[in-house]
Structure 1
């Protein structure tokens, strides 16, 4: 973005205002405009940076950055990542997998779905994609199954009626 037209416009407006004050004011305005050019450019750059900060907050997780190239700012727009298109689960690959056995993902009673943002480190994302591909599933279907398996496994480890809040006839403490 070329700031020169904006700086020139400010110089022109200052000259028009100085004309009203006479010849001395016009001469003073001419002497002041050259040193004020860098201050004007810096002020415009600060205003643009603040504006792009507000735009970035509205675009999150996308962003707009202002970079200085020579004397002029340049805008770098990073759009938010496009959501992956919904893919139906493909037929599972018949090759055996060393991980947990395949289990059907129980559907919700009312069929309602919830959407969440899930951030993974890059190395885990790559492993999840590889595992999903090996099992012939989309990453989403694989993650749903993994979460379901993890939660079902936890319920089996902690059956109802056991534990300190179960109201059952259990004892806690030390024994000699």
Structure 2
């Protein structure tokens, strides 16, 4: 920002005021105007700095700084950081798991096991349990039971007879 027009305007105003005082006042104003130029520039710079301080307070966390480059101030604007768009990650819809009937060999004995899960899986398990109105423990017991005894489990190769009397071998899914 060029301050020269403002300093020149101040010099002209001083000369106009001195004209009213006569020749001696005019001569005094001319002698004072040159030394007052640097003081006027410094005063204008202080005013601009104070103004930008107020602007910065309103822009927070952004800012506006005043820097002196040569004889003229320069404004440096630092915009506030742009927040990253919120990404909604939708959980896949999980169909409720129906527990198979308890095995006939289940004697009802409970054992304790420590299970370490990554935080994201723990959160998903808690959400799935809450959606089904179960505790996380009950949901995990049901999930393990279905995984071991339920449909969708790959079974070992087996031999048997189909209804036509022919033998078969292979993996069943």
Q: TM-score range by the shorter chain?
A: 0.5 to 0.7
- Runs of 4+ deviating beyond 3 Å: 98-101
User: In 2, Cα distance between the equivalents of 1:69 and 1:91?
Assistant: 55
The CA RMSD over aligned residues, in Å, is 1.9
What does residue 49 of structure 1 align with? 49
> For residues 44-85 of structure 1, what are the alpha-carbon distances to aligned partners after superposition, in whole Å with 9 as ceiling and x for unaligned?
000100110011011000000000000100000001111222
Helix, strand or coil at the partner of 2:80:
coil
Aligned match of 2:146: none
What is the alpha-carbon distance in structure 1 between the residues aligned to residue 118 and residue 48 of structure 2?
A: 53
Question: Is 1:58 paired with 2:77?
Answer: no
Correspondence 1:3 to 2:7: no
Unaligned runs of 5+ in 1: 93-97, 107-176
Larger radius of gyration: 2
Relative to the length of structure 1, the TM-score reads 0.53
Aligned to 1:100: 119
With a CA cutoff of 8 Å and minimum separation of 6, indicate the structure with the bigger relative contact order.
1
Q: TM-score, normalised by structure 2?
A: 0.54
Q: Does 1:80 align with 2:99?
A: no
Q: What residue number does 1:69 align with?
A: 69
Q: Distance in 1 between matches of 2:40 and 2:57?
A: 26
Cα 1:15–1:84, aligned 2, differ >3 Å: closer, same or farther? same
CA distance in 2 between partners of 1:90 and 1:3 (Å):
57
Matched, 1:14 2:33: no
Distance 1:65 1:99 in 2: 46
- Cα distance in 2 for partners of 1:85, 1:37 equals 51
